[in-house]
Amino acid sequence: MSNMSLTQALPRLINSVPRSRSMEAVLLFWVAGMHAFQLAQIQLSATDNLDEQILLYWTPLFLASFVFHMVLRFKAKAADSLLLPLATLLNGLGISMIYRLDLAEAARGNEQLLGMRQVWLTLFAMAVAALVLWVLKNHMTLKRFTYIAMAAGILTLLLPMLPVIGAEINGARLWIRLGELTFQPGEIAKLLLVIFFAGYLTKHRDSLSLIGKKIWGVRIPRARDLGPLLLVWVASLGVLVLQRDLGTSLLYFGIFLALLYVATGRGFYAAIGIGMIITGGLVASQLLSYVGNRFDSWLNPFVQENYTGVGGSYQLVQGLFGMAHGGILGAGLGGGYPQLVPLAANDFIFAAVAEELGLVGVFAVLSIYLLITYRGLRIAISHRDDFSRLLAAGLSFVIALQVFIVVGGVLRLVPLTGLTTPFLAAGGSSLLANWLVIALLLRISDSANKQVIQ
Amino acid sequence: MSELALLLVRIGFVAVLWIFIFSLLSVIRADIYGRRVVRTVAEQSGSRVANKVEGPGNPDLASEREMESGGPSHLYVITGVGAGSKIPLDKRELFVGRAPSCELVVTDEFASSQHAKVVHIGGDWVVQDLGSTNGTYVDGVRIQTPEVLRMNIPVRVGKTTFELRP
């Protein structure tokens, strides 16, 4: 009788592990099929014939996703089986849309090969993420680097401010330039800061959540426990003032606030933090002209001066027109005019997707982001260790908040800011950072699932 | 391509995308509520044979051991936060749940504050679910009514498994 539990546990162990991986393989084939469909549809509607050129855009992602899958089979057997197909699907849709914009530019006589560049950058990002999975056997190692991560994060944030390598593009000082290559260090900084926040809050959550006087049923924390909150607020405002980037500063503060709430479970922090965001935003819109402009073109985009003015609402309004043209069912891939929006491949890729896939497609894309975030939070819940929980929750919030800030900006729900749509937008730094998020989540889910199976 | 074909292709892609998402949702559903356990025929007939052997005339090994040592003396936690710990059966009632007042405190999200209790009634230990959200499982089967607990049969509450040991 006593070996009953063993005989019961054994089939579960044998079934659950390879099953989740083979399901992942099936989903990856499905994703690859959809990617081929997109590319074929785009080429057919743009050039009226189908040639082998689309294979150049299709094959690399297909192979890379299966190499990644094999890495998981060897190094993280019990990892979540949905994250890789979901991220690959978005990445593939991004490549298709950028290729589609390239074709539209070629028709207008401008040769641009952003699509091919995106394919190479995807390969690079997935290779680095797979390498991280291969080398990092246990994410708990990261806990030891809590304060190093903080220092490295702040340092990488400050890199673009350096005289020689720092570069200013479109008014924001966020890039470093080494010869031909440009890189956005802020994307990596946000990962380092999530590691720091998770480590710091694991250590201090008790003093943050339990100590303090109770007034009208609300526990007010001690002034010294509010210190870190103030510090991060000041740092975020520093990014806003020095680097002139509204989105990034909102993202950093938002992640910290979300993790503070997850760690302590106290609504007081969330209320105070949201108050601080609103105060900071209002003050900045009065004092900093570029923030004021952004607010103005957000609230009054159809005013003539804003529409025609430099740095005005032209891009935003073109995006809105495009999405209106798409309607509910969309113009079909290759059937719309997304190239009429400035920077359609970067900031406004979401408007391009919305125009061609319509409301139905947009909801599908948003549900994919929702599923990624859901899986991340699910991993956070299922893990037993506090640091892992906070890290997984923080990484999920990175994706969720980016999507909210960008898509909200394009849809004119919040002021437009310069963040990238995860996995869709053209740009190597953002691809790299988001694939690293997926790699870390997979690593954490592997250890979470192993502890349950034991 | 004709207009109609284009329209079909357009709708077709979005439809495939949505089918993909819904199939993921069904995977997630299985993840939350668990897969349906289908017992093999061999297993079922095996347990029926075992039941027959366990009839009053033929006490099996386990119940023999039970008689010799004079019944269980403690709850042994097999998996979960307190894995390896022993809770002595020195009271008439033991509560299992998240509340600190419980004899066996389980700290996970899938357990209710007072999840189940183990009661000593007429020489038997009986496990009863106290209306918990996620249920109490004896030997892998969710119990609806109080169930007599025998030695070395695992009981699962949330992520914690325990059993009676001599």
Q: What percent of chain A has pLDDT over 70?
A: 90
**Which chain A residue is nearest to residue B154, measuring alpha carbons?**
A5
Nearest Cβ partner for A360 among B14, B20, B61:
B14
Closest residue by Cα to residue A339 from A327, A363, A355, A328: A355
Contact: A81, B9; criterion CB under 8 Å: no
Nearest Cβ partner for B11 among A23, A45, A329:
A329
Query: What tokens were used for A404?
Result: 């909210």
Q: How far is B116 from chain A (nearest CA, A)?
A: 21
**How high does pLDDT run on average in chain A?**
85
Whether chain A has a CB inside 8 Å of the CB on B110: the answer is no
Q: How far is B45 from chain A (nearest CA, A)?
A: 16
Question: How sure is the predictor about B148, in pLDDT bands with cuts at 50, 70 and 90?
Answer: confident
Contact: B153, A1; criterion CB under 8 Å: yes
Whether chain B has a CB inside 8 Å of the CB on A147: the answer is no
Cβ pairs A/B, distance under 8 A: 78
The single residue listed with the structure tokens 């005989």 is A7
Phi, psi (deg, nearest 5) at residue B40: -75, 155
- Give the B window 121-140 contacts with A, CB below 8 Å: 139-140
pLDDT of A392-440, one tens digit each?
Answer: 999 999 999 999 999 999 999 988 887 889 999 998 899 999 999 999 9
Round to whole Å and give the CA distance between B85 and B102: 15
Conformation bin of residue A83: beta by default, left when phi > 0, alpha when psi is -120 to 50: alpha
Contacts of B28 in chain A (CB under 8 A): 82, 371, 374
Contacts of A371 in chain B (CB under 8 A): 21, 24, 28
Question: How sure is the predictor about B35, in pLDDT bands with cuts at 50, 70 and 90?
Answer: low
Whether chain B has a CB inside 8 Å of the CB on A12: the answer is no
pLDDT of A251-269, one tens digit each?
Answer: 888 998 899 899 888 888 8
**Which chain A residue is nearest to residue B64, measuring alpha carbons?**
A1
Q: Which of A24, A29, A41 to mutate to test the interface with B (most CBs of B within 10 A)?
A: A41
* A16 has pLDDT over 50: no
pLDDT of A123-158, one tens digit each?
Answer: 999 999 999 999 998 888 898 888 888 888 888 888
Yes or no: say if A174 and A245 are a contact pair by the CB < 8 Å rule: yes
Contact: A5, B163; criterion CB under 8 Å: yes
Nearest Cβ partner for B9 among A1, A41, A454:
A41
Q: Where are the domains of chain A?
A: 3-453
Q: How far is A369 from chain B (nearest CA, A)?
A: 11
**Which chain A residue is nearest to residue B61, measuring alpha carbons?**
A1
pLDDT of residue B57: 40
Question: How sure is the predictor about A33, in pLDDT bands with cuts at 50, 70 and 90?
Answer: very high
Contacts of A4 in chain B (CB under 8 A): 139, 152-154
Conformation bin of residue A149: beta by default, left when phi > 0, alpha when psi is -120 to 50: alpha
Contacts of B109 in chain A (CB under 8 A): 381
| Mean pLDDT value across residues A75-92 | 93
Contact: A368, B21; criterion CB under 8 Å: yes
Query: What tokens were used for B75?
Result: 């709850």
Whether chain B has a CB inside 8 Å of the CB on A359: the answer is no
- Decide: helix, strand or coil at residue A4: helix
- Give the A window 74-93 contacts with B, CB below 8 Å: 81-82, 85-86, 89
pLDDT of B96-135, one tens digit each?
Answer: 888 777 778 887 777 887 888 888 887 788 888 887 878 8
* B69 has pLDDT over 70: no
Closest residue by Cα to residue A319 from A342, A346, A290, A345: A342
**Which chain B residue is nearest to residue A331, measuring alpha carbons?**
B10
- Give the A window 89-128 contacts with B, CB below 8 Å: 89
pLDDT of residue A408: 94
Contact: B27, A82; criterion CB under 8 Å: yes
| Mean pLDDT value across residues B21-50 | 62
| Mean pLDDT value across residues B142-153 | 83
| Mean pLDDT value across residues A333-338 | 87
Question: How sure is the predictor about B49, in pLDDT bands with cuts at 50, 70 and 90?
Answer: very low
Nearest Cβ partner for A5 among B62, B78, B108:
B78
Q: Which of B8, B9, B159, B165 to mutate to test the interface with A (most CBs of A within 10 A)?
A: B9
Which own/partner contact pairs does A272-279 have at CB distance under 8 Å and 24+ positions apart?
Answer: A272/A226, A272/A229, A273/A229, A273/A233, A276/A229, A276/A233, A277/A250, A277/A253
Across chain A, which distance is largest between two alpha carbons, in Å? Answer: 82
Q: What is chain B's percent helix, strand, coil content, to nearest 5? A: 30, 30, 40
Round to whole Å and give the CA distance between A230 and A69: 42
Nearest Cβ partner for A23 among B7, B14, B27:
B27
Yes or no: say if A361 and A354 are a contact pair by the CB < 8 Å rule: yes
pLDDT of residue A146: 86
Q: How far is B159 from chain A (nearest CA, A)?
A: 8
**Which chain B residue is nearest to residue A454, measuring alpha carbons?**
B79
* B36 has pLDDT over 80: no
**Which chain B residue is nearest to residue A37, measuring alpha carbons?**
B13
Nearest Cβ partner for B13 among A1, A41, A367:
A41
Dihedral of alpha carbons A54, A55, A58, A61, sign: negative
* B62 has pLDDT over 50: no
Contact: B13, A4; criterion CB under 8 Å: no
Stated length of chain B: 166
Please list the residues that pair with B147 across neighbouring strands. Answer: B127
